[in-house]
Amino acid sequence: MLWLFAGSIGLLMGGGAYLVLRAHGFSVVLGLMLLTYATNLFVFASGGLQVGRAPVQVPAQTGGNAIELMADPLPQALVLTAIVIGFAMTALVLVLILRALSDLGSERVDAQPMGAAPSEPQVGEALPEQGQPDACQPDEFRPSESQLGESQAGEEEP
Amino acid sequence: MSLLLILPLALPLGLGAWLFARSGMPLRQQRRLSLMGALGQLGAAVGLLALAVDGQIAATLIGDWPVPYGIVLAADRLSALMLSLTSALALAAIAHLSLSAADTERSGRHFHALLQLQLFGLAGAFLTADLFNLFVFFEVLLIASYGLLVQGGGPARSRAALHYVVLNMVGSSLFLMGVALLYAVTGTLSLAELSDRLPELAPDQAPLAGTGLLLLTGAFALKAALVPLHAWLVPAYSAALAPVAALFAIMTKVGVYALLRLFALMPIGDALSDAALAERLLARLPIQTVIATGALLTLAVGAVGVVVAAELRTMVAYLILVSVGTLLAGVAAGTAEGIAAGLYYLIHTTLVTAGLFLLIDVISQGRARGSWLQPAQQPPAAAWLGALFLLGALAIAGLPPLSGFVGKALILEAVQDASVAGSGSGPDWMLSWTAVLGSSLLVVIGLSRAGIAIFWQGPPSTSIASGRGAYAPTAAALLAASPLLALFAAPIAGYTQALALQLLDGEDYILAIRGLEPVDPPSAVTEAVAKSIHGGPS
């Protein structure tokens, strides 16, 4: 059981990491969900894997269990908290992606803002990075910088 | 005493919930309530600070559960200092909002509710004495910060918020895994118990605990924006509304705070010379080296960013990166002097960068080009704003009369001492000196360029300064902290020195938490459970 459990956590983690690194918002949400599941299972296992043991103490009159035969209740409580938080976070990310979809016109995580805010200098031509289809993660930070650089250069020339 | 500990949590939580329920309330009224909430929190924080100055550690049991189970809140010198900084920043941010009409229009109905929940999360993170509750409060403050970040709307904010949320969710997963690993080997999550049990682990369990500690380091380094985990910071901070960005100045410091707590858990510094400990894996964890190297990289990236930034807000966001690098360079020395110097610098940099965010908000509202560094008509009241900008620039660059200089000098001295004494496992002190001093030079160059573009290149303003916010009173108040910090450098550095000793020693913290007794005696069942658990970790 130990190997099955560890293997499933590894599989979930690997799948989650792969999906989070994809460029599409929906894949990222799925990836985050898998990562959260893997983490929850991991936390659950931190109390030791036991079968058929209750996390509460049953009174002796009803054929109770000794404290030694109790499952560790703390990780279960932690997992419950973590599940709730993970659920809320996933909902939040979904809302943010929908928001980004309406603001940016694309659900890709590396989408560029369409047109700049009125106070900012206009960025003229399309950025070179936009041609690369799946280069999300390494480029995540670059577009905004290159955008700033270009806008500055464009303004200083005249 | 327990009231002082509960108030900074209960007040913003209650107020935040109330404001959410009554979100139809006029903004002015919401702002007044929010301001009063922050004032109350500041009062409690100062009360805790007064207790902490004498070395007293306030601690309380929530819900009256006996020590190993219940939620424990504790405020030592470090917690009290961070809490006071947080409430002071919140006060300035809310006051700034009430002075600047534009921001009032841009912020949404739920702004103050979210701000209060953010304060709740921050206060909880600083006061909790339990690793899992630290996780929970991290999530609370992060959820609130996502909401605050998108205030005002717009594509840039949506994009920054999305990246920020995704990166932080991955970080939270790492955090939780680290917590689970530590629980699996030690059977406790209380910070006090952990620091007691970690050095006594069996050799076969030490690798697991080490993995857990390294995962936690990764998660906290992400919050502290240590390069290469810094990518979320600059877009998020430069996209946020000015009061939000000012409050966020404390957010990277939450990561630094958590790293410090982690340091306190581990046998580092003096303990390294102990042969028996050094043989164990935990004492040889490369956490100090990782942080020291990361700090140098952060300094480099931040300083280059300051020089090339095309916009003032981006520039200040990079200044935050530089300041994180500088203070972690001190902390990574691992000695009490290093941590003390880093914390003195932390007070300075938090207040000054927050002040700069508020100042450039006023400046960019008065210019046609906004916060972009292109010649345009000067903002109204340019002489006064220029003087404030000069004050902030001198302070953050670390030039002599102000607190930045004192902080950097303390850090450099501590790094050299630690390296010469051989107790620091970080890079050679010359490397740290080069990075800190080189970054200061680049910061001076970058800020000079900004000052020239805004205040010298361009005709004087034709419009007259109007409105209460035109003279940036909130920014002035925050920036005024810098000369004060320099003037009272001795007592403040004395406090941070005592803080570092208290943190590294850890004995007082453990005793304060173990000494807590519930008001009602525990029942027979809890006693029995306590006995079986204390029999030894499974």
- A130 and A59, same domain (yes or no): no
The yes-or-no verdict on residue B349 having pLDDT over 80 is: yes
- A76 and A53, same domain (yes or no): yes
- A143 and A75, same domain (yes or no): no
Give the Cα separation of B506 and B514 in Å (integer).
12
- A98 and A149, same domain (yes or no): no
Most confident of A110-119, B2-11, B363-372: B2-11
- A6 and A48, same domain (yes or no): yes
State the total domains in chain A. 2
Bigger pLDDT: B135 or B458?
A: B135
Backbone torsion region of residue B59, taken as left when φ is above 0, otherwise alpha when ψ lies between -120 and 50, otherwise beta: beta
Q: In degrees to the nearest 10, what's the CA dihedral of B247, B252, B255, B257?
A: -60
Q: B173 and A140 in contact by Cβ < 8 A?
A: no
The CA distances from residue B249 to A108, B4, B22, B325, B495, in Å, are: 29, 25, 29, 14, 22
Whole-number pLDDT of residue B174: 92
Mean pLDDT of chain B: 84
Q: Pick the residue from chain A with its C-alpha nearest to B163.
A: A109
Whole-number pLDDT of residue B255: 92
Q: Does the predicted interface ipTM exceed a cut of 0.95? A: no
Domain of residue A59, CATH code: 1.10.287
Those residues with Cβ within 8 angstroms of residue B105's Cβ, 6 or more apart along the chain or in another chain: none
Bigger pLDDT: A4 or B280?
A: A4
Type and span of the H or E element at B144: helix B131-149
Those residues with Cβ within 8 angstroms of residue B417's Cβ, 6 or more apart along the chain or in another chain: B333, B335, B337
pLDDT in tens, B497-536: 998 888 888 788 888 888 887 776 656 656 666 655 554 4
Least trusted range by pLDDT, from A81-90, B95-104, B403-412: B95-104
B179 in contact with A at a CB cutoff of 8 Å?
Answer: yes
Q: A35 and B538 in contact by Cβ < 8 A?
A: no
Residue B85: Cβ within 10 Å count: 22
- A82 and A10, same domain (yes or no): yes
Structure tokens at B156: 């840039």
pLDDT tier at B307, thresholds 50, 70, 90: very high
pLDDT in tens, B28-37: 888 888 889 9
The yes-or-no verdict on residue B491 having pLDDT over 70 is: yes
* B169 vs A contacts (CB less than 8 Å): 32, 35-36, 89, 93
- A81 and A152, same domain (yes or no): no
- A27 and A87, same domain (yes or no): yes
pLDDT in tens, B32-70: 888 899 999 999 999 999 988 888 888 888 877 777 777
Whole-number pLDDT of residue B91: 92
The yes-or-no verdict on residue B250 having pLDDT over 50 is: yes
With pLDDT > 90 as the criterion, what percentage of chain B qualifies?
33
pLDDT tier at B267, thresholds 50, 70, 90: low
Look at the block and give the residue holding tokens 């939580």: B13
User: Which residues of chain A from 80 to 99 reach within 8 Å of chain B, CB to CB?
Assistant: 81-82, 85, 88-89, 92-93, 96-97, 99
Suggest the residue from B173, B301, B532 to mutate for an interface test with chain A (most A CBs closer than 10 A): B173
Whole-number pLDDT of residue A38: 94
- A67 and A134, same domain (yes or no): no
- A68 and A144, same domain (yes or no): no
Pick from A111, A130, A146: which residue ends a domain?
Answer: A111
List of chain A residues with pLDDT < 70: 58-68, 113-158
Whole-number pLDDT of residue B392: 92
A125: distance to nearest CA of chain B, Å? 18
- A105 and A119, same domain (yes or no): no
pLDDT tier at B352, thresholds 50, 70, 90: very high
pLDDT tier at B72, thresholds 50, 70, 90: confident
Please state the rounded mean pLDDT for residues B161-169.
Answer: 89
pLDDT tier at B273, thresholds 50, 70, 90: very low
- The residue range of the domain holding A67 is 2-111
Please state the rounded mean pLDDT for residues B232-252.
Answer: 89
Q: For B497-533, give the DSSP string.
A: HHHHHHHHH-HHHHHHHHT---SSPPPHHHHHHHHHH
- A73 and A146, same domain (yes or no): no
Type and span of the H or E element at B75: strand B71-75
